[in-house]
Structure 1
Amino acid sequence: MSKLDGNERWKSKMALTEHVEQYEKRNEPKNQGRPTGDELTMVRDYVLLPLLLTMVQRAADDIKNSTGILRRHFLVSAQVLMDRITKDMYALRKELSKRNIKVIKDEQVDLVIYYKIICRGYEERFGIVRDVVRSEISIRLTKYLDDMANLLRQSIK
């Protein structure tokens, strides 16, 4: 806190706008390039959604090769699910681009997958454990399937 902070003259017309801007710029937080918690969640989703899409695609391929009564229904459901995941990936990619955030796959060491995040000039390394990836994908898949089930229920009514 400087001497000017409690002083009412500072708020009046006695200070030039250039001086006020310089004072405010000097007191800005230094970590403005670092990603926020919300942006890190977006990065995590950006990493998880392509993996989820791959899993659903493999399941659809398995269903194509099967011989079951509901095969066609399962294929249509899988396609709708893949379309929703792709739509979410597109929206997420667009939002990250708007916020000037780039995510680059770095390396995989043992059970940890590392990504490099470039956020407004600030570089950070982001790692996610494979077990966390599995559990998050399971949660996401359940959420997508619940949404689809709710839509089916609504269409029946």
Structure 2
Amino acid sequence: MSKLDGNERWKSKMLLTEHVEGYTERHTTETPTTRAKAVPSSEELTMIRDDIMLPFMMTMVQKSVDDIERSTNVLRRLYAQAGRAILDQISADHFVIRRDLKQRNIRVIPYETDSAAAVINYEYYCRGYRGEFGMIREHLRSQIAMRLAKYTADLGAVMKGGQ
């Protein structure tokens, strides 16, 4: 900070463009290392993917639980309870991911696209860096199926351990 910063008398004085450019170059905080710190790491991109995927999973599981509760199946209470346990785990994981993204100063915002589009687009802001993240619906479905299988296996392991 120079002696003239904050001095109101010098605001109206005329400056040459090369002086302004030199001043901004000397006082710019962005360097190649800070630029590299702004770009998200692969771990952060995975967190962004999970932040996009988990709400879709929650919707699917909730719809399935609602369908099970309306069915006439003899074991509907058991199935609904298992579905709610999986839904609780998904919700807890989503909460942790949202908290971690907030701590790392990353925001994820959906694009306004039509619901029939093959690609779901999101934009994210990572410490001042703006990026785009798109997922193909088929890839999203396969990721959801794999993650849902993991949650189901975890619930099965808890049930077996409780015997």
Q: TM-score range by the shorter chain?
A: 0.7 to 0.9
Name the Cα RMSD after superposition.
1.5
Pair 1:111-2:115 in alignment: no
Pair 1:150-2:145 in alignment: no
- AA aligned opposite 1:48: M
Q: Is the 8 A contact 1:42 1:92 kept in 2?
A: yes
Counterpart of 1:135 in structure 2 is 142
Which one of the candidate residues 121, 124, 132 is aligned to 2:131?
124
The CA distance in 1 between the partners of 2:31 and 2:41, in whole Å, is 21
How many aligned positions are there?
132
Q: 1:100 to 1:29 in 2, by over 3 A?
A: closer
The CA distance in 1 between the partners of 2:85 and 2:37, in whole Å, is 39
Tell me the CA shift for residue 27 of structure 1. 6.8
Pair 1:50-2:55 in alignment: yes
- AA aligned opposite 1:39: E
- AA aligned opposite 1:141: L
Q: Secondary structure at the match of 1:30?
A: helix
- AA aligned opposite 1:135: S
Pair 1:97-2:102 in alignment: yes
Gaps of 5+ in 2: 1-29
Q: Mean Cα displacement is larger for which, 26-35 or 74-83?
A: 26-35
The CA distance in 2 between the partners of 1:30 and 1:83, in whole Å, is 38
Q: Residues 110-131 of structure 1: CA distance to partner in whole angstroms, max 9, x if unpaired?
A: 3001001000000001100000
- Deviating runs (4+, > 6 A) in structure 1? none
- AA aligned opposite 1:144: Y
Counterpart of 1:11 in structure 2 is none
The CA distance in 1 between the partners of 2:35 and 2:125, in whole Å, is 16
Q: 1:106 to 1:27 in 2, by over 3 A?
A: closer
- AA aligned opposite 2:61: V
The CA distance in 2 between the partners of 1:154 and 1:121, in whole Å, is 47
Tell me the CA shift for residue 66 of structure 1. 0.3
Pair 1:66-2:66 in alignment: no
Report sequence identity in percent: 38
The CA distance in 2 between the partners of 1:27 and 1:97, in whole Å, is 24
